[in-house]
Structure 1
Amino acid sequence: SMLGARKPVVSVSAVRTGSGKSQTTRAVCRVLQKAGLRLVVVRHPMPYGDLVAQEAQRFATVDDLSAQRCTIEEREEFEPHLTAGTVVFAGVDYEMILRRAEEEADIIVWDGGNNDFPFFRSDCEIVVVDPHRPGHETTYHPGETNLRRAGVLVINKIDTAAPESVAALRRSIRAVNPKALVIDGASPIYVDDYAAIAGKRVLVVEDGPTLTHGDMAYGAGIVAAQRFGAAEIVDPRPYAVGTIAEAYRKYPQVGALLPAMGYSDQQRLELETTIRNTPCDLVLIATPIDLRRVISLDIPALRVRYELQEIGAPTLEDALAGVIEKARAQTAITA
Structure 2
Amino acid sequence: MTERVVVMGAAGRDFHDYFVALRDDPARDVVAFTRAPDQNLGETEAGGYEAFPAALTPDGRGEIPIIPEADLAETVEEHDADRVLFAYSDVAHEDVMHAASRALAAGADFGMLGPDSVQLNVDVPVVAVNAVRTGCGKSAVARAFADELDSRGHDVAVVREPMPYGDLVAKRVERFADETDLEGLTVEEREEYEDHVAAGHVVYAGVDYRAVFDRASDEADVIVWDGGNNELAFARPDFHFVLVDALRPDHGERYHPGEANLRRADAVLVTKENAASDDEIGTAIDVADRLAPDDAPLHHSDSVVRADDPAAIEGRDALVVEDGPTLTHGGTPHGAGYVAAEDAGAASIIDPEPHAVGGIADVLAAYDHLDAVLPAMGYSDDQLADLEATIDAADPDVVIAGTPVDLDAIVDVDAPVVRARYEIEWRDTTPAALLDAGLGDALDR
Whether these two folds match at TM > 0.5 is: yes
What amino acid does structure 2 have at the position aligned with 1:233? I
Match of 2:297 in 1: 181
Matched, 1:47 2:160: no
Which 4+ stretches in 1 moved above 3 angstroms?
A: 322-328
Contact 2:157 2:222 in 1 (8 A): yes
Gaps of 5+ in 1: 331-335
Contact 2:407 2:417 in 1 (8 A): no
Contact 1:285 1:304 in 2 (8 A): yes
The 5-angstrom pairing of residues 14-163 of structure 1 reads: 14-66=131-183, 69-163=184-278
Cα gap change, 1:322 to 1:37, in 2 (>3 Å): farther
Match of 2:103 in 1: none
Match of 2:130 in 1: 13
What amino acid does structure 1 have at the position aligned with 2:404? P
Match of 1:333 in 2: none
Contact 2:238 2:442 in 1 (8 A): no
Deviation at 1:47, TM superposition (A): 2.6
Deviation at 1:326, TM superposition (A): 3.2
Match of 1:229 in 2: 345
Taking the aligned partners of 2:264 and 2:443, their CA distance within structure 1 comes to 25
Deviation at 1:315, TM superposition (A): 2.9
Deviation at 1:256, TM superposition (A): 1.7
Percent identity at matched positions?
Answer: 47
Q: Find the residue that maps to 2:275 and give its secondary structure.
A: coil
Contact 2:135 2:229 in 1 (8 A): no
Q: Give the count of matched residue pairs.
A: 327
- If you compute each CA radius of gyration, which structure gives the higher value, 1 or 2? 2
Q: Which moved more, 1:320-329 or 1:149-158?
A: 320-329
Matched, 1:246 2:368: no
Deviation at 1:277, TM superposition (A): 1.0
Q: Find the residue that maps to 1:108 and give its secondary structure.
A: strand
What amino acid does structure 2 have at the position aligned with 1:32? L
Deviation at 1:179, TM superposition (A): 2.4
Match of 1:308 among 417, 424, 430: 424
Contact 2:395 2:415 in 1 (8 A): no
Deviation at 1:328, TM superposition (A): 4.3
Taking the aligned partners of 2:141 and 2:278, their CA distance within structure 1 comes to 21
TM-score for both structures, normalised by structure 2: 0.72
Matched, 1:197 2:294: no
What amino acid does structure 2 have at the position aligned with 1:20? G
Q: CA RMSD in A?
A: 1.2
Deviation at 1:249, TM superposition (A): 1.0
Matched, 1:168 2:283: yes
Deviation at 1:154, TM superposition (A): 1.1
For 1:38-86, what per-residue CA distance to the aligned partner results, in whole angstroms no more than 9, with x for missing partners?
Answer: 10001100132211110001111011111xx211000011010111110
Match of 1:278 among 387, 390, 394: 394
Contact 1:198 1:228 in 2 (8 A): yes
Taking the aligned partners of 1:266 and 1:115, their CA distance within structure 2 comes to 29
Match of 2:371 in 1: 255
Deviation at 1:285, TM superposition (A): 0.5
Deviation at 1:137, TM superposition (A): 0.9
For 1:133-157, what per-residue CA distance to the aligned partner results, in whole angstroms no more than 9, with x for missing partners?
Answer: 1111110101111111111111111
TM-score for both structures, normalised by structure 1: 0.95
Contact 1:183 1:316 in 2 (8 A): no
Contact 2:334 2:372 in 1 (8 A): no
What amino acid does structure 2 have at the position aligned with 1:131? A
Contact 1:8 1:323 in 2 (8 A): no
Taking the aligned partners of 1:24 and 1:262, their CA distance within structure 2 comes to 25
Deviation at 1:316, TM superposition (A): 2.6
Q: Find the residue that maps to 1:185 and give its secondary structure.
A: strand
For 1:9-61, what per-residue CA distance to the aligned partner results, in whole angstroms no more than 9, with x for missing partners?
Answer: 00111111111111111111112112221100011001322111100011110
Deviation at 1:327, TM superposition (A): 5.0
What amino acid does structure 2 have at the position aligned with 1:195? A
Taking the aligned partners of 1:222 and 1:56, their CA distance within structure 2 comes to 36
For 1:275-328, what per-residue CA distance to the aligned partner results, in whole angstroms no more than 9, with x for missing partners?
Answer: 11112100000101111121112211100010111012x333222115655354
Taking the aligned partners of 2:161 and 2:438, their CA distance within structure 1 comes to 21
Q: Find the residue that maps to 2:354 and give its secondary structure.
A: helix
Gaps of 5+ in 2: 1-117
What amino acid does structure 2 have at the position aligned with 1:4? N
Match of 1:265 in 2: 381
Taking the aligned partners of 1:124 and 1:279, their CA distance within structure 2 comes to 48
What amino acid does structure 2 have at the position aligned with 1:304? A
Q: Find the residue that maps to 2:256 and give its secondary structure.
A: coil
Taking the aligned partners of 2:217 and 2:424, their CA distance within structure 1 comes to 27
Taking the aligned partners of 1:92 and 1:248, their CA distance within structure 2 comes to 30
Q: Find the residue that maps to 2:255 and give its secondary structure.
A: coil
